[in-house]
Each structure stands twice: as C-alpha cells, then as structure tokens.
A and B are shown apart, each in its own frame.
Chain A
Amino acid sequence: MRKIRAVIRREFVERVRSKWFWVSAILGPLFFAAIIIIPLHFAAAGGTKAIVVVDGTTSGFGARVADSLARGKTFMIVARSAPRAGLLDSLTREVGLNRLDGLLILADRTVETGAAEYRAANVSSFRDIDELRGVLGRLAVNARLERAGVDPATVGRAQLRIDLRTKKISGSATTGESSAQSFWLAYVMSIVLFIVIAVYGVNVMSSVLEEKTTRIVEVLVSSLRPFELMLGKVVGVGAVSIFQFAIWGLGGRLVLSQRAALIGNVAPADVGQEAAFQLPPVPATTVAVFLGYFLGGFFLYSAMFAAVGAMSSSEQEARQAQQPVVFLLMIAYLSVFALANDPGSPYAVALSLVPFTSPIAMPVRWAAGSVSVSELVMSLALLGVGIGAVTWIAARIYRVGILMTGKRPNLRELIRWVRA
C-alpha cells in the first residue's frame, strides 16, 4: 500500500510540477471556450450580409421586403433596383469579387406563387435562409390578405410573434434552465469530457511507455505487483485531472460569465436571448453526475490506454495502437447533437447504458433532459462492471506487455496474454 502511495505521489507531483500542467490549467478554459464558440459563431453568425434586392414587383411588395429585412440584423440592403438588361450579370460579378454577399430577386409572381430567388456566395447559413423565408412568407401573406380586402390594421393585429419559453423539468421541479442552456451545458460537458478523458488517458499511456522504454519497469515490478503499479499510475494521473478541474472550475466560471459578450447572437432566435446568455444555474446533482461519470470514464479508458502503452515499444506504435480506443471514446462524443435533441430516444438510452459510451452520453442526457433515477443507477452499475472487466483484461495485457520488446503483438497474441 505504501508503495502504491509512492507511485501515486510521483505521478501527481511530477505532473503538477511540469510547465505543461500550468499552461493547460491557465489556457485550458480559453481553449475550451475557443473550440466551443468559434465553430458555432462561424456557422450561425457569419456577420451581416450586404445584399441587393432586385425588385421586379409593381405592388410595392419589394420595398416592404427590403424595409423589413433592413430592420433585422442579418441583412444590410445595399440597394433596391428594378431589373434591367445586364443587371443580374453585373451583380453576380460583384458577388464573385466579394464586394457583395448576395442578391434577392423578387417579382410580382412571388406574392402569387411564393417563388423568389436568393443568389449568394454562401447559401448554407440556416440563419440567413430562415430570416429570408420568414420575412418573405409573412409579407406575402399580408399582401394576399390585403388584396382579398382585409383591413391592414386587422392583419397587423392578427400577427403574433410566439415567444416560447422553455423550462426543463427535472424530477418534478421546474428548473430555471432554458432549452438553450440545457443544450449548452450538454454540449460543453461532452467536449470537456471527451478531451479530458482522452488527454489524461494518453498521459497514462505515455507514463507506461516511459517506464517500459527506459526499463525502469523491471526495477518497479520486482518491488510491487504490476497491477499495483498500474493502479497507482491511473489514480495518480486521475488526481492530477481532478486538480486540473478544480482550477478550471474557477477559470471556467469566469469565461462562462463572459459568454454573452463572447458569443453574440448564437442562440436559436426563438428563445429569449437574455435568458440564453445568463450563466446557467448548474445544479449540484449535474456537477455530481458529471464528475462521477468523468471518473468512471477516466478509469475505464485509462486502463485501456495503459494496456496500449504496455503493448507498444515506441511513441509511434502507441499512437497507432491507441486509435481504436479513441474511436470508441468518440462514438458518444459525435452523438452529442442526437443525444441533446432527443435524450429519450432508444439510441440515446443505449449509449448511456453501454459502459464505453455512457461516461459522455449519460451526462449529456442528464443535462439535456431528465433521466430517471433507476436508469442512472443501472448505467452506473454497468459502468462499474465495465471498469472491473476492462481493468482486469488491461492489467493482464499490461503485466506481459511491459516486459516485451520487439514487435507489437497481434490480436491472437493479446488473447493469449490475457488467458495466460
């Protein structure tokens, strides 16, 4: 026991002493903020689009569309021009030269048939398209109603913007979380879990590899059992990760509190924007679930990473051999949108029960929607069994692998090691 403690202490002290640890402790939250926010910012926002409305309408419909779009934040109307020969070609050239983002082509028949045309360099922005469709649809309906003799004032009164407030019910209590907050929390947790489990798992792997390649492992296993060594290593690196979280906990809260300024108008437009940008009230139970599954996932995966390190003889070999383990970890991570959108789907439930995916899937489901206690207990129990089984197998591979030199074992040899 004293020897295991010494192994734990060495792993912890040497890591916390390294520059790498403090760099990631300080830059980690910024890094997470960057990888979470930047892609969404680019995907959803993308700045104001400068467009020209090519107005072929005679009813004033085009003017109304241009006014309405100009009131929104998405589009800036550079000009509204009547169609003439060569106009479309010259505007298209402007778009090609990046002096213009796009052109909206309207005609009288737009009101009749709903047909309009939007030409732009980028037509994949959901936000842009939603905005255009919304404005065109609303104004077309108005125009038709007016033409049918409905009083414009009645039309105005009939219009109602739906302000749908979403509140998550957790247990039987209504929480303050909005759906945007739930999604954010789930999304952030999945990224943090994925990266931290992978990073610290790889830490365990390189630690195993260092002892193997320097042959210190011979001295060590002549003093304590290979399993004790592996256990000490995993616990020591795990303690570093918890310490890292403690530091991030403070730094992360700081970044999250500045989120509104950082991310701008990213949240879905149908959610009250202010609510989306407040610091989500993360309940203590969610923190507990997150940490519980993090530890479970870390133990499960670092045992596998330890085995990978033990069966490799060099960094390059280990990088190759770790790929199946990383893929396994990625399954749940890549499913985060599906999980958050429909936390109750059979796929989501399955992912949150299988030990290899539950460490990421369950916290995401927990954050996105409520999970019954019995499901949580079952998932944790399965995770416990999974950790036990995987650690047993990994320890047997580790025991043989750390003393092996030469080529990496194939699957058959691995099975022999485990059964030996």
Chain B
Amino acid sequence: MTAPSPSPSPSPTPILILDRVSKRFAGHTAVDELSLSVPSGVIYGLLGPNGAGKTTTLRMIMDILEPDGGTVRVFGEPGGGRAHAERIGYLPEERGLYRKMRVLDVLVFLGEMKGTDRRRARQRAEEWLARLGLTEWRLRRIDELSKGMQQKVQFISTVLHDPDLLVLDEPFSGLDPVNTQVMKDTVLDLRHRGKTILFSTHIMEQAEKLCEQLCIIARGRKLVDGALADIKRTHGGHHLVLGFDGSLGGAAQVFADQTLVSNVDNYGQYAEVELAAGADPQQILQRLVASGARLSRFELQEASLNKIFIDLVGAEAVRA
C-alpha cells in the first residue's frame, strides 16, 4: 500500500471547518476550542489517544451532539451535517445494524435515511453487494451473517448514497485483515474520485499511509494540524545517519558546529547526528565533503508519525 498520489489538487475552499468548537459533559471538557479545516478532496486524519475527544468531535460534525461553543461549517454552510445528510456518509465507532432485518432491507432503509429514493437505494445496494461478494446473502437476516460480512454491510450503508464527504470513526478497528484491505482500497478509490474522507484513528501506521492532512488532538485540544509532509518536516526529520569510507576528514569540526548539530553519536565509521533547529542537512553534506571526509552513506531519517505522536502527546500528558 503506497500513499495516495497527489492527484486532483485540493480545492481552496475547505469542505469542513470547525471554529473554536467546545463540548462539555458533566464534570469534564471533552473538546476544548478545537479549530480545524478539512480541504475538499483529501484524506484527513483526526488522530489522538483514547479519550482525546475524537468521537465527540465527529458527533458534533454529524449533528448528533450540539457544540456548547464555537461553530461548525459543512459545505460552506453554518451548522452540522444533518442538513447535508445526503452528501455525507457516516460510520460510527460502535457498529451495529438491525439484527432481524434482511441485508437488502437494511441497506435500502439506511439509504432512504440519507435521502436516496427506494428504487435507487435498492439498485446501488445490489451493486455494492455484488462488488463485495455478498449478493447471495442479500435476502438473509443480518444476524445470520458473520461479523466480517456485517462489517461489509455496514460499510456499504455508509457509502451507498455516494456521499461527497465520508466521516469514519475508527474505521479500521475490529476489522479482519481482508476487510481492512477492502476498506483501504475503497477509501483510496473514493479519494481518487474526488471525495473527501475524514477519519479518526489512534493507529498511527494507518494514518501515516493514508492521510494527506491530519490533526492531532489530546484532551480535547489541538496539538498540531496540517499536511502530513509539513508536520513531519517541522516535528521530525532531524536525524542524519552517516557512514564513512575510511577518511573522516574534518568531520569532528563539522559536528562541533552548534548551529548545525545539536547532538552526535560518533562510532568512528558510523555516526548518528541530531540536527540543530533550523539547520539545513545539505549544508552539512557540503561541509563534510569540503573537509575531505569520504562518505559511503548520507541518509536523512524521517521520524515516524508514531514518534511524533508519542512525543507530542507525551509532552501534553506531562504538561497536564
């Protein structure tokens, strides 16, 4: 699985804007003046540890909860998603379907809830069931299906009405590997068709592979948001791994330059360098070559999103 190619460029008008949105429950603040902006046509990750306020945020976007403060704008209009139900697909964190209903009936009903008329909902449900290999199960009751099949049906119900914006709350949690793949493929396919996907997760590996933009929150507050590449640049990418081929040249002087290097682990023929803030790795390369060092390896190591996340969230936890 590769990261999505930067096809249809994000339109300048965000599809979803939160402006200082807050939600308080008895005794604690679940979301605290959270502002974020989701551009159209991207995969946007809302990341945070458990209890960070991700689900509450998504519920406010979906009009399931009313914010206590701040404003939500969806498709440029003030107010939550209910008014645009036909353009939004929502997969809640806790899954469930009417157990006694037939698969096709459930899908048609949920399609109708999203404003699709019955005939069209039925037709699209049949298409999706065929696509995910569930055609022969369409007249069976939900409780006759395996858990994996139920997950597929639930996912179909989310995309049945061909929404422009998908809001997925922990979409990968509880999925078996096959369904994880189906989910990823479908999300990427939708993204390539110009849809916007907002999903929450606490699994960073998934976010790193899928997200173009993201927002990390903890304790209801935003820690960082923006494009994944920018975040990695500003919060990671400070490590340089060097390998020497015999001659070290004047490497010791270069490492001693506090404007370039903040810390170094020098093993003789191998060194790990932590860059000083604002230092340009290319300058180090030039200086080393000029000093007569012979390099066999020069690698700028990106910090993983996981590390950035742990650094940020850990720091927040310490502060709190």
Q: Enumerate chain A interface residues (CB-CB to B < 8 A).
A: 2-3, 6, 10, 13-14, 18, 210, 213-216, 218-225, 403
Segment at the A interface, from B3-11, B112-120, B226-234, B257-265: B112-120
Q: Complex: how many Å from CA A126 to CA B92?
A: 64
Could you say which residues of chain B place their CB within 8 Å of the CB of A218? Answer: 59, 62, 64, 90, 92, 94
Are the CB atoms of B96 and A222 closer together than 8 Å? no
Q: Complex: how many Å from CA A222 to CA B92?
A: 10
Return the contact of B113 from the options A6, A13, A18, A213 (Cβ within 8 A). Answer: A6
Could you say which residues of chain A place their CB within 8 Å of the CB of B115? Answer: 2-3, 223
Residue B97, interface by CB 8 Å: yes
Residue B22, interface by CB 8 Å: no
Are the CB atoms of B65 and A219 closer together than 8 Å? no
Interface residues of B in 64-119 (CB under 8 A from A): 64-65, 81-82, 85, 88, 90, 92, 94-101, 105, 109-110, 112-115
Residue B127, interface by CB 8 Å: no
Chain B nearest Cβ from A257, distance in angstroms = 37
Could you say which residues of chain B place their CB within 8 Å of the CB of A225? Answer: 82
Are the CB atoms of A222 and B112 closer together than 8 Å? no
Are the CB atoms of B98 and A214 closer together than 8 Å? yes
Are the CB atoms of A216 and B98 closer together than 8 Å? yes
Residue B274, interface by CB 8 Å: no
Q: Which residue of A lies closest to B101 (CB)?
A: A14
Are the CB atoms of B157 and A219 closer together than 8 Å? yes
Chain A nearest Cβ from B77, distance in angstroms = 16
Chain A nearest Cβ from B293, distance in angstroms = 60
Q: Complex: how many Å from CA A223 to CA B161?
A: 12
Are the CB atoms of B100 and A214 closer together than 8 Å? no
Chain B nearest Cβ from A220, distance in angstroms = 6
Are the CB atoms of A6 and B109 closer together than 8 Å? yes
Q: Complex: how many Å from CA A222 to CA B161?
A: 14
Residue B208, interface by CB 8 Å: no
Residue B272, interface by CB 8 Å: no
Are the CB atoms of B65 and A223 closer together than 8 Å? no
Sample of 29 A–B contacts (CB below 8 Å): A2-B115, A3-B112, A6-B109, A10-B105, A10-B109, A14-B100, A14-B105, A18-B100, A210-B98, A210-B99, A214-B97, A215-B96, A216-B96, A218-B59, A218-B64, A218-B92, A219-B92, A219-B110, A219-B113, A219-B157, A220-B113, A221-B64, A221-B82, A222-B81, A222-B85, A223-B114, A223-B115, A224-B82, A403-B64
Main secondary structure of the interface of A (DSSP, over half): helix
Could you say which residues of chain B place their CB within 8 Å of the CB of A18? Answer: 100
Chain B nearest Cβ from A370, distance in angstroms = 47
Q: Which residue of B lies closest to A226 (CB)?
A: B64
Residue B63, interface by CB 8 Å: yes
Q: Which residue of B lies closest to A6 (CB)?
A: B112
Q: Which residue of B lies closest to A214 (CB)?
A: B96
Could you say which residues of chain A place their CB within 8 Å of the CB of B112? Answer: 2-3, 6
Could you say which residues of chain B place their CB within 8 Å of the CB of A216? Answer: 96-98
Most buried by B among A2, A220, A223, A225: A223
Chain B nearest Cβ from A166, distance in angstroms = 51
Return the contact of B65 from the options A13, A210, A220, A403 (Cβ within 8 A). Answer: A403
Could you say which residues of chain B place their CB within 8 Å of the CB of A222? Answer: 62-64, 81-82, 85, 88, 90
Q: Complex: how many Å from CA A221 to CA B81?
A: 10
Are the CB atoms of A215 and B92 closer together than 8 Å? yes
Are the CB atoms of A219 and B101 closer together than 8 Å? no
Most buried by B among A214, A218, A220: A218
Q: Complex: how many Å from CA A383 to CA B90?
A: 40
Q: Which residue of A lies closest to B112 (CB)?
A: A6
Chain A nearest Cβ from B228, distance in angstroms = 28
Q: Complex: how many Å from CA A6 to CA B99?
A: 18
1/0 contact trace for B263-291 toward A, CB 8 Å?
00000000000000000000000000000
Could you list 15 further interchain pairs (A-B, Cβ under 8 angstroms) beyond the known A215-B92, A403-B65?
A: A6-B112, A6-B113, A13-B105, A14-B100, A210-B98, A214-B96, A216-B96, A216-B98, A219-B113, A221-B64, A222-B64, A222-B85, A222-B88, A223-B82, A403-B59
Q: Which residue of B lies closest to A210 (CB)?
A: B98
